[in-house]
Amino acid sequence: MPTVIPSPAQPSIPVVGRTERFPVRRVFCIGRNYADHAKEMGATVDTSNPMFFTKPADAIVTDGADVPYPSVTNDLHHEVEMVVALGGGGSDLTPEQASRIVWGYGVGLDLTRRDLQAEAKKKGSPWDVAKAFDHSAPVSALVPATDFVPDAATRIELRINDEIRQSATLSDMLLDVPAILSALSKLFELKAGDIVYTGTPAGVAALHRGDRFVATLGDTVTLEGRVS
Ligand code: MN
């Protein structure tokens, strides 16, 4: 297709053991999906009405690239999250139908300008500047669901400079993956290529220039990188 400006590059995520990559269409995130994190944020939880927000697809950071410290914040926070990549889609899915559209799993950071988020909460403003900034979504290579399906006992963990900052099992999630996708599919028609950040456990804290992060989901999925 002839275009009047150069077409933007298609954001994509590497896949463990494959040369083909996973093309990213949209990035959805759920908030307040672990009770102990909601508590540390002073937020109330309503699992019948989950809170979603989005990031642009080109906010992903892959292949171990450095994460540049963002502008206009003095309080960049890490939120380690399981990431679900969709190979199918649909609207108004039951949890059972939703469980069948998962293509693979990864682990990522929902990076947050916490100071701008606090301001937005106070003013009732949108969260975009706090959540959807450039390079705000580092994500690991994906493992296909044919090779690995996390369960309630799977541990999600984040180390910063070799110190454990966040650690939980997926049993601590308030909504599991089928329930998240079912709820999301009532708000948006999900499509192949969409990825979903599934919420963070307690322990969110500040990142600084030079920090090295290692996020893991079970024994199979790892994200390593550095804030520059
Ligand atoms: Mn989050």
Q: How far is the CA of 91 from the centre of ligand 1 (A)?
A: 23
Judged by average pLDDT, the poorest of 30-44, 165-179, 183-197, 214-228 is: 30-44
Cross-strand partners of 56: none
Report pLDDT digits (tens) over 156-172: 999 999 999 999 999 99
Q: How far is the CA of 108 from the centre of ligand 1 (A)?
A: 10
Q: How far is the CA of 210 from the centre of ligand 1 (A)?
A: 22
Q: How far is the CA of 43 from the centre of ligand 1 (A)?
A: 13
Q: How far is the CA of 37 from the centre of ligand 1 (A)?
A: 9
What pLDDT was estimated at residue 168?
Answer: 98
Report pLDDT digits (tens) over 28-69: 999 999 999 999 999 988 899 999 999 999 999 999 999 999
Report pLDDT digits (tens) over 70-128: 999 999 999 999 999 999 999 999 999 999 999 999 999 999 999 999 999 999 999 99
What pLDDT was estimated at residue 213?
Answer: 98
The CA-based angle 176-96-15, given to 5 degrees, is: 65
Tell me which residues have their CB within 5 A of the ion that is ligand 1.
Answer: 79, 110, 200
Distance CA 128, CA 59 (A): 12
Q: Give the model's confidence band at 137: pLDDT under 50 very low, under 70 low, under 90 confident, else very high.
A: very high
Q: How far is the CA of 96 from the centre of ligand 1 (A)?
A: 24
Q: How far is the CA of 3 from the centre of ligand 1 (A)?
A: 36
Burial zone of 30 (CB within 10 Å; 0-12 exposed, 13-18 middle, 19+ buried): buried
Q: How far is the CA of 66 from the centre of ligand 1 (A)?
A: 20
What pLDDT was estimated at residue 100?
Answer: 98
* Collapsed DSSP state (helix, strand, coil) of residue 155: strand
Q: How far is the CA of 119 from the centre of ligand 1 (A)?
A: 17
Q: How far is the CA of 151 from the centre of ligand 1 (A)?
A: 20
* Collapsed DSSP state (helix, strand, coil) of residue 28: strand
Distance CA 169, CA 157 (A): 9
Whether pTM exceeds 0.95? yes
CATH number listed for the domain at residues 21-226: 3.90.850.10
Q: How far is the CA of 93 from the centre of ligand 1 (A)?
A: 23
Q: How far is the CA of 131 from the centre of ligand 1 (A)?
A: 9
What pLDDT was estimated at residue 5?
Answer: 98
Q: How far is the CA of 30 from the centre of ligand 1 (A)?
A: 6
